[in-house]
Structure 1
Amino acid sequence: MSAGAAVVRSAPGKLFVAGEYAVVESGTPAILVAVDRRITVTVSPAEKPGVLISSDLTTRAVRSRWSRGRLVPADGPPGTATATATAGATAAGAAGGGEQTRRALAHVLAAVESVGRLLAEHGRPLPDLSLSVSSTLHEGGRKLGLGSSGAVTAASVAAVAAFCGLDLTADARFRLALLATARIDPKGSGGDLAASTWGGWITYRAPDREQVLDLAARLGVAQALREEWPGYGVRRLPPPAGLELEVGWTGNPASTTSLVADLHRRTWRGTSSHHKFVQTTTDVVDGAVAALEAGDGPALLHQIRRARQELARLDDEVGLGIFTPELTALCEAAESVGGAAKPSGAGGGDCGIALLDAHAPNDISHVRQRWAAAGVLPLPLRPAMEGIEE
């Protein structure tokens, strides 16, 4: 099957429920939930040779061409860029875009390259195409901390693969997306990609990303998709029984990549305290998974409170700035009515989550009012039970 009519794919955003920071260690579990704001990617035949990428979050489009296995600026010499973070910046810069363009499109470039490499191994060229991105994971152009990079990567891989006639399983699409993001930042766990791919509530364990990249380099992309990835695992979970998921946005965007990289630079990593954090977080996540599968709401609330306490211990010890005044107020408001709450993701801004009694609407209203008074915007989000959609 060859490329033809336009293809549209969308992917939901995500929230971490438990397991942040520890999940970057291969085989360490986390819980995530997909949310009903999405990124939509449309791929259609190109009017001009090459790959044209545009986004509603940028003012300029990027035109690239395929050269020796890489996307390079359409007007540059061969081999002048790659689809790493630096490459995305180079390509965007060639189109006259600024920092926002470079950040927004590097993951899309990497996603297209991953599909292009798979096509090349089947003896097929990457066709000329036009790819456009639209997002509801932002507010007034600012990211909400809902995993926009993961969602756009997952949606781009799915849309480009379908446009090119590749019939891929959800697992294969996830693996292609992880290969793309690992080339930009091998420290990223890929949990956002998993939530965007499968949707719903999931438990996820990350593979060793350096090992995965090595597999693709040695054996090729197609074989790497079929190989066992040690540490990797994902499965669906039932939603929490009797509890309502509430989400609050602090209004302050935070960089997960920067916070995780900062932690990796600290001498804390590899210490006994680090090992304790990973072990305790693993125990929390395992307990939360068991509570979800048993439909035990009180046990789940207990584990979410433990997760908050462990993140606070990490923050006190290392000084990353995970807890902002707004996130602390968010947590205190939820716990004042018997709920449980914590930052979602790396913290430092973005979103916090709360699990509240679904049968106590007055309590939920009270928490929302306290959030608003503390400068936290309640977001009307619900779990998205479906992942990639047409």
Structure 2
Amino acid sequence: MMTPRRTVVRHAPGKLFVAGEYAVVDPGNPAILVAVDRHITVTVSDTGTRSGSAGAAVVISSDLGPGTVPWRWYEDRLVPCGADDDGRARGAFAHVVSAIETVGRLLTERGLSLPTLSVSVSSRLHDNGRKYGLGSSGAVTVATVAAVASCCGLKLSADERYRLAMLATARIDPKASGGDLAASTWGGWIAYQAPDRAFVLDLARRIGVDRTLGAPWPGHSVRRLPPPDGLSLEVGWTGEPVSTAALVSDLHRRSWRGTASHRRFVETTNGCVRAATAALEAGDREGLLHQVRAAREELARLDDEVGLGIFTPRLTRLCEAAEAVGGAAKPSGAGGGDCGIALLDAGASRDISHVRQRWATAGVLPLPIRPALEGIEE
């Protein structure tokens, strides 16, 4: 058995949306996210031969995927070895494969070769295969970019890692905001605005990945925020997994964009996010709670008008339980299931216990999740 020449391990945290869902998919609209202390781990080893050699160029395995799959390069794409139909394997490993391909393009542009790699993925964003909606696709993309780049000798800034992950993600889903990528990259509480993904993809095609990393990205912004003063972030899982991409696509199919309802939703949501950002920066606890409630109300209005199913009965009960003790709560992300969040008085332990008990009675599982202060880790 060949001894790996170099092995790199990277851990990327998951995320939760605090405010700004749906509006953030449009470039320049703000959102607030928080990284959480559940991680994706990606281990990458240089197996000691070059990618031009016979056999697999990359071997990918995951505790969530279809076992171990060897891949070979075909032009600038990875395809499974010996498979006539790569649909299942490519679907299962889509974000890992796209991340490797994107780093591969950067290496080629810099006159470097990609070694043969062994890539292993393990997840704490799932439990026995159960999906919690904590941004696993974003975390695995960031961790793969960081691990592969480091294994290949590339020294990247946090911004460059995010940008490579955004390019890799946009190739799969151009509607993805990339907020999960930013949370996984920088960690903590962040204010985020998405770039124009169509623009940056076209830019990468025209001038290459390397130059695109250093070019202006219209609409994009990210900065760290202080954590909320005196508030505890509580997370409840509804037991109902949901696809964010499917819900966002469903909303777009309903010809909602460009309507008066769409304009009102974006304007109101943006106002809530900006006010919540200011409250975090000022340490204004009551102001933050007020804006989180307002963001929930705007999501509920959207749900009533469009009928997406953002608010399930369990998410509604999750919010009601937190409101009953003076807290603020809302779905986190696209809704329709997955997780809800609540901000509760950190000093009121009895109220926190009461909310958790009410959640359990309503079929909502309280998750022992806390904010992750740091992003991608070695």
Q: TM-score range by the shorter chain?
A: over 0.9
Confirm or deny: 8 A CA contact 1:62 1:91 kept in the other structure. no
195, 203, 207: which is aligned to 2:191? 203
Cα distance in 2 for residues equivalent to 1:140 and 1:350: 16
215, 237, 249: which is aligned to 1:261? 249
Confirm or deny: 8 A CA contact 1:151 1:192 kept in the other structure. yes
Is the aligned partner of 1:69 residue 2:70?
Answer: no
Counterpart of 1:87 in structure 2 is: none
Cα distance in 2 for residues equivalent to 1:156 and 1:58: 15
52, 60, 63: which is aligned to 1:53? 60
Q: Displacement, 1:125?
A: 2.0
Cα distance in 2 for residues equivalent to 1:242 and 1:104: 41
Counterpart of 2:237 in structure 1 is: 249
Cα distance in 1 for residues equivalent to 2:207 and 2:80: 28
Deviates more, 1:117-126 or 1:345-354: 117-126
Counterpart of 1:275 in structure 2 is: 263
Confirm or deny: 8 A CA contact 1:62 1:92 kept in the other structure. no
Cα distance in 1 for residues equivalent to 2:229 and 2:87: 46
Counterpart of 2:161 in structure 1 is: 173
Confirm or deny: 8 A CA contact 1:50 1:74 kept in the other structure. no
225, 235, 243: which is aligned to 1:237? 225
Amino acid at match of 2:73: W
Cα distance in 1 for residues equivalent to 2:80 and 2:136: 24
Unaligned runs of 5+ in 1: 81-89
Counterpart of 1:84 in structure 2 is: none
Q: Which residues of 2 match residues 96-107 of structure 1 at below 5 A? A: 102-107=90-95
Cα distance in 1 for residues equivalent to 2:132 and 2:92: 14
Confirm or deny: 8 A CA contact 2:234 2:344 kept in the other structure. yes
Cα distance in 1 for residues equivalent to 2:351 and 2:332: 21
Amino acid at match of 1:30: A
Identity of aligned residues (%): 71
Counterpart of 1:150 in structure 2 is: 138
Q: Displacement, 1:103?
A: 4.3
Confirm or deny: 8 A CA contact 1:8 1:40 kept in the other structure. yes
Is the aligned partner of 1:374 residue 2:362?
Answer: yes
Please list the CA deviations of residues 144-196 of structure 1 after superposition, one character each: whole Å capped at 9, or x if unmatched. 00000000000000000000000000000000000000000000000000000
Amino acid at match of 1:35: V
Q: How many residues align?
A: 369
Cα distance in 2 for residues equivalent to 1:44 and 1:372: 43
Cα distance in 2 for residues equivalent to 1:38 and 1:216: 29
Q: Displacement, 1:223?
A: 0.3
Counterpart of 1:308 in structure 2 is: 296
Cα distance in 2 for residues equivalent to 1:146 and 1:104: 18
Cα distance in 2 for residues equivalent to 1:121 and 1:74: 25
Amino acid at match of 1:152: V
SS at match of 1:6: strand
Is the aligned partner of 1:124 residue 2:112?
Answer: yes
Cα distance in 2 for residues equivalent to 1:62 and 1:261: 30
Confirm or deny: 8 A CA contact 2:31 2:193 kept in the other structure. yes
Counterpart of 2:286 in structure 1 is: 298
Confirm or deny: 8 A CA contact 1:32 1:202 kept in the other structure. yes
Amino acid at match of 1:70: R
Please list the CA deviations of residues 286-334 of structure 1 after superposition, one character each: whole Å capped at 9, or x if unmatched. 0000000000000000000000000000100111000000000000000
CA RMSD of aligned residues (A): 1.3
Confirm or deny: 8 A CA contact 1:29 1:205 kept in the other structure. yes
Unaligned runs of 5+ in 2: 49-54
Q: Displacement, 1:49?
A: 3.6
Q: Displacement, 1:268?
A: 1.2
Cα distance in 2 for residues equivalent to 1:275 and 1:118: 39
Shift >6 Å, 4+ stretches: none
Confirm or deny: 8 A CA contact 1:92 1:105 kept in the other structure. no
Confirm or deny: 8 A CA contact 2:56 2:81 kept in the other structure. no
Q: Displacement, 1:269?
A: 1.1
Is the aligned partner of 1:133 residue 2:128?
Answer: no
Normalised by the size of structure 2, how large is the TM-score? 0.96
